[in-house]
Amino acid sequence: MAARLLRLRGWLRAAGPRPFSAQASPLQTEQHGTKRPEPSSAKSLTDIGTRRIFSSDHDIFRESARKFFQEEVLPFHAEWEENGQVSRELWEKAGQQGLLGVAIAEKHGGIGADILSSAVVWEEQMYVNCTGPGFSLHSDIVMPYIANYGSEEQVKCFIPEMVAGKCIGAIAMTEPGAGSDLQGIRTYAKKDGSDWILNGSKVFITNGWMSDVVIVVAVTNREARSPAHGISLFLVQNGTKGFIKGRKLKKIGLKAQDTAELFFEDVRLPASALLGEENKGFYYLMAELPQERLLIADMALASCEFMFEETRNYVKQRKAFGKTIAHLQTVQHKLAEMKTQICVGRAFMDNCLQLHADKRLDSSTASMAKYWSSDLQNSIATQCVQLHGGWGYMWEYPIAKAFVDARVQPIYGGTNEIMKELIARDIVSDK
């Protein structure tokens, strides 16, 4: 495994001493001096070698990621949909391929690339229309909490194993009575000597069933002047006494992605299980949520790009009234509208990705990206199903799966209604 990661880091660095630099110009150019085409003028919205925020190094990485998802994920996804989870073997293969912990610093045991490289992995997963692997949550939501706020011991214990795909991560925020309102959580951890005793339950936890370590959000000070001042994060490992995994939840979409209920009944945790400082958990969550929302938004846009290309290919083959339906003006206009909407969305999304690479993406802008992109994803899904006609309603057609998978996007990661509240709050603020 170590040798594999060293080889990966080596070719990622082949073009120079500072690959994927956040300080690099956003107007990347190829070695022969020609500027990279934007998706609007490319042959396909998923072409490799497009978009100015990326470099030829990213293209090499994208080719590798695309091959992995096409060969190691797509052929087995239907089976995983039946099982309600992907295989553990897949996680280890992803680790061997260098697709986990991509943006985690080398000093912490990660791959050490930039967030744009992570975006390559997010997008390539959506380009095969396979939502089962919870790689993005594991790598770019869970791991940053440990890398940014964990002790040296915690980092050494979890990050290398997570990068290798041998330790699967989850984060438990949502409860039966608390979703987007994180200040409404009831899971409680009280001190008992130097230990903590954790009680409560969580629901809708991605990677929950397969998880080896879970970041649990819990109240630790019920007397705090506000709920935000009394929340902490804990690392709870699978097999800990009192940590019970409930049923895998049956969903209308994301059928291969394991989603579970988690229960904590008098779980005794050592002081070393506390992640970061006591009662600082809410602030850690607020600091990391923009990346989570950016991730959801970029995957939504990538799904739009996949659905458009899938539908374009379909209408060019499907015949009605003696010719392909792509010759019908109403279909052509619908395709024109969708491509324009997607390309406009992609321009904003790439701007957000570059801002985040430069560490300048704020919460309000990330909320805009999440709300806009996930709404667009559902609009594009509806239109693409319509263009498929009755076949679009058949499960064996990729567009049907993309349609049901899209529906949850405006809900998790903070509902789009909450996103509008956050955006509006910034607009009317006098600060």
pLDDT digits (tens, 9 = 90+) for 352-390: 999 999 999 999 999 999 999 999 999 999 999 999 999
Regions in the chain scoring below 50 on pLDDT: 1-7, 10-33
Distance, in Å, from the CA atom of 35 to the CA atom of 208, rounded to the nearest integer, reads 44
- 30 catalytic, yes or no? no
pLDDT reported for residue 22: 34
Segment holding 234, helix H or strand E: strand 231-237
Instruction: Give the separation between CA 349 and CA 47, rounded to whole angstroms.
Output: 17
Nearest to 63 by CA among 21, 104, 124: 124
Three-state SS at 319: strand
φ and ψ of 40, to 5 deg: -60, -30
Distance CA 343, CA 335 (A): 12
Centre a 10 Å sphere on the Cβ of residue 274 and count the other Cβ atoms it contains.
22
Question: What is the predicted pLDDT for the residue at 8?
Answer: 54
**Cα separation of 92 and 104, whole Å?**
17
In angstroms, how far is CA 89 from the centroid of its own chain? 20
- Candidate list 175, 261, 288, 292, residue with the active-site label: 292
Q: What is the pTM of this model?
A: 0.91
Sign of the Cα pseudo-torsion (180, 183, 187, 192, in order): positive
Neighbours of 161 (CB within 10 A): 17
The pLDDT score that the predictor gives to residue 179 is 73
Q: Provide the β-strand partners of residue 170.
A: 214
Task: Give the pLDDT confidence score for residue 34 in this predicted structure.
Answer: 56
Look at residue 21 in the predicted model and tell me its pLDDT.
35
State the DSSP code for 74. Answer: G
In angstroms, the CA 431 to CA 427 distance is 10
CA distance 388 to 395: 12
**263: three-class secondary structure by DSSP:** strand
pLDDT at 181: 75
Report pLDDT for 32.
35
Single out the residue of 225, 245, 238, 236 nearest to residue 269, CA to CA: 236
